[in-house]
Amino acid sequence: MPNQVISRENHPSVRRGATERATKDNQRRGTMTRHMTGTREEWLAARLALLDAEKELTRRSDELARRRQELPWVPVDKAYRFEIEEGSASLADLFRGRSQLLVYHFMFGPDYAAGCPSCSAIADGFNGSAAHLASHDVTLSAVSRAPLAKLEAYKRRMGWTFPWASSFGGDFNADFNASFTEEQQRKGGVEYNYRREAAADAERALEGQQTGQWREDSASGDDGGPVAEIAAQCGTDAATYTRERPGMSAFVLEDGVVYHTYSTYSRGLDALWGMYQWLDRAPRGRNEAGVWWRRHDEYARR
């Protein structure tokens, strides 16, 4: 067996000594923790090792951002129409005089009674960001298939001010792989996150089970799983709920031509979900057991 190089902070004797000290200290205080404890010096050594890994991740993230910007631009030839607060609008109109447009594909289908709580948690961070982006030649807008009246009512309930367009009756969401038909579900014709979902996955989605390509880290229970639970919060069934999917698409307007530049889905949206960025830095991390989040105006009702 090859020799292994073990850093000081991970050496068994260091960890054992830290644990023994923690046990004695906690016994003195009448408390107990199962998490490894240590001295300030041991913490600093471990933190510096983690810092190297964090810096490498930052450098890698910077490189991925450059690669996103190097993707070829694809002209958008279809004449999409939307309904916005000011009236009927084209895709170019959604730029609102700027050259760049970021669209969040918000899960709010025509048959939903309320917007998806997961998308709502992500959108809670849009108001402040939209103002900063607007000053930097970028418009941030949500797009959903529900009629505009539903979107506007929900927007008022949530206290949001960012632009939100309705693509009701149009192909925009379907063309950018954020909306699907019942037939696609049943026949396994759903292409989401750059993969075609197997018919078995589509059938499980119809039964209220989570699809493997959508949230790879989710587990489904005998009660229908997290999808059925979230669907109920939207006032619909799992099959109807999963005809919408979350995503984000980027566009640029140059010389009067709109180009599609980028789209991401599923866990590619994690970085946009602000509360998870905080939780990943909290002592217990995400610490999840089922669907714990709610719309921000619902926590007081629990």
Q: Give me the number of domains the chain comprises.
A: 2
Q: Are residues 122 and 265 in the same domain?
A: yes
Mean pLDDT of 198-215: 48
> What CATH number does the domain containing 157 carry?
3.40.30.10
Q: Is residue 201 part of a domain?
A: no
Q: Is residue 200 part of a domain?
A: no
Q: Are residues 254 and 150 in the same domain?
A: yes
Q: Is residue 169 part of a domain?
A: yes
Q: Are residues 18 and 162 in the same domain?
A: no
Q: Is residue 264 part of a domain?
A: yes
- Per the prediction, the chain carries an average pLDDT of 86
Cα separation, 206 vs 182, whole angstroms: 9
pLDDT in tens, 107-162: 999 999 999 999 999 999 999 999 999 999 999 999 999 999 999 999 999 999 99
Q: Are residues 108 and 163 in the same domain?
A: yes
CA torsion 202-207-208-211 (nearest 10°) is: -20
Cα separation, 240 vs 205, whole angstroms: 10
pTM comes to: 0.83
Q: What is the pLDDT of residue 30?
A: 55
How would DSSP label each residue in 58-113? HHHHHHHHHHHHHSPPEE--S--EEEETTEEEETGGGGTT-SEEEEEE----TT-S
